[in-house]
Structure 1
Amino acid sequence: MTPTATTDPAGSLDLVALYVPGDRPARYDKALAAPADVVILDLEDAVPATGKDDARAAARDWLSALHPTSRTRVSVRINAVGTAAGDADLAALACVTGLHSVRVPKVESPADVARVVAALGPVPVHALLESAAGVEAAAAIATAPQVAALALGEADLRSDLGVTADAGLAWSRSRVVVAARAAGLPAPMMSAWTDLADTDGLVASCRTGRAMGFLGRTAIHPKQIEPILSGFAPSTEEVAAAEELLDSLATAEASGRAVAVTTTGRMVDPAMIRGAQRTLAVHTHVRQRLGNPS
């Protein structure tokens, strides 16, 4: 018997979201076949101004023809709301239903989210906070109707803040983690790792992010998927400790006790259930994505 947590400890468990340039429609199907949880068709930064019309038309046509089950794995990153490109993106997507989400850059207030919902209806919105104003409004944005996730757009945020050292983003990262949790949203995904050659750095960064409360990451190339999964995977020791914690608490609960002591002498109580369940859920998800479900 396993004690029951009050909420899903692992959220949606989307650990990898793979970006695909919107102006490269030949890559759409290939991306969907990769072991990422979500495919993000990028109509924003990956597409030059001269290619945006063709990109949004290609994305709209592909999504319209896609099987509804597959469409639930596809998100679209639009251009910023209130811009001509953003308005055109929303108009193009108005006929598309059943998307995983719409990824909205440069969100600075709930009003930005409301414009997307007004155009598209009740679509899940992933709000990207990319400025000081966006970070300051994180709590209000997180509770806006249809917001399903928060994330930082760290490249733009660095520019806005004038930050050159990674430590300069520590407060903003913690802020978005807390805002998401307080609103009952899944733990935020980390921003993309742009150095494709530095796989070890990517894995290490994911482990650091996991320790800070992030869960999952966007990828800009399929070869980053496995390192991201590895970086967020709990260790063998963490899995064993989570299993023992849940077993010990289940035994204690059956005996009318609220706390238990593990074989290593660690006292555990029900407040630790959510963390242990998250560890096991992530462990199972990673193994399934890597083709090793046992």
Structure 2
Amino acid sequence: GLLSLPFQVQCADHDSDGSHDLIGTFETNMTQLQRAGDGSLVEFECIHPEKKQKKKSYKNSGIIRIKSCKIETEYSFLDYVMGGCQINFTVGVDFTGSNGDPRSPDSLHYISPDGINEYLIAIWSVGSVVQDYDTDKLFPAFGFGAQVPPSWQVSHEFALNFNPNNPYCQGIQGIVDAYRQILPQIRLYGPTNFSPIINHVARFAAHSAQQGTASQYFVLLIITDGEITDLDQTRQAIVNASKLPMSIIIVGVGEADFKAMEFLDGDSGVLKSLTGEPAARDIVQFVPFRQFKNAPREALSQMVLAEVPKQLVSYYKWQGWAPMKPLEVKKM
């Protein structure tokens, strides 16, 4: 059927200014090209139509030899999800002192009389979409940058439910409930270190990657007021995580200068570690909450999650992993 459909190949001399010069063309089909895969000699005369008309002695403008030909399936995000890929969603919440005293209405952690703040809106906006791709609806949730009881040591990856052996919350509502309960029990402190929580999720992603299947992908949502302290360690953590089935979403709350977050996003160039090692792929999406303050919640979740499907597909394509269960195509 489709493999025998003819198509024309144009060969041109590439010019950097875009004025490419036609060398010639030839016609073929996929059946012919695929013969190159079994060692057969597949070659075509490259013919320039005008030169052929003008010169009787014209033979060709060169020979095109096909050395190999492969047909590869381009899988979509939906193919992987329908194939059984689980999206594992983890939340990291910034409890550093720069957020302000949660009891003060000026604080980013202050819960208004109607029960919300920017942290809670970000958790709901992103979580309500991501949870549909996770069958068990159990989400690990952590805080960082606070002094926690009973020792009042500063911690950069404490479970929001105070259970380090089982930091999972039941659904997005479970994360919200844990956040509300922990707020009066901790002391906001500092510094603002991202790398511990990125490395925490990366350990799970690395373990999953060893299975060699497209079974689990990890999404880490970090909500922060933006004054990052361990930028160099975070750069290294992101470069390491870029080789794993993992994406990082950073939502910036408040009015701070988010230059460091935009730098981590890597949209203006490839993020590199302090030693110059480049990220294998772009896995960070940064969104400032203030741009969406008066927009519907769906607008924030759309913007925040815009890159994740592409990032998931790019990782599995890079690894050469197909979806686990082939999609069943229903016959019309």
Structures share fold, TM-score greater than 0.5:
no
Q: Which has the higher helix share?
A: 1
Structure with the larger RCO, 1 or 2 (CA within 8 Å, 6+ apart): 1
- Higher Rg of the two aligned structures: 2
TM bin, normalised by shorter chain, reads: 0.3 to 0.5
Write 1 or 2 for the structure with the bigger share of strand: 2
Question: What is the TM-score of this pair, normalised by structure 2?
Answer: 0.30
Output the TM-score relative to the length of structure 1: 0.33
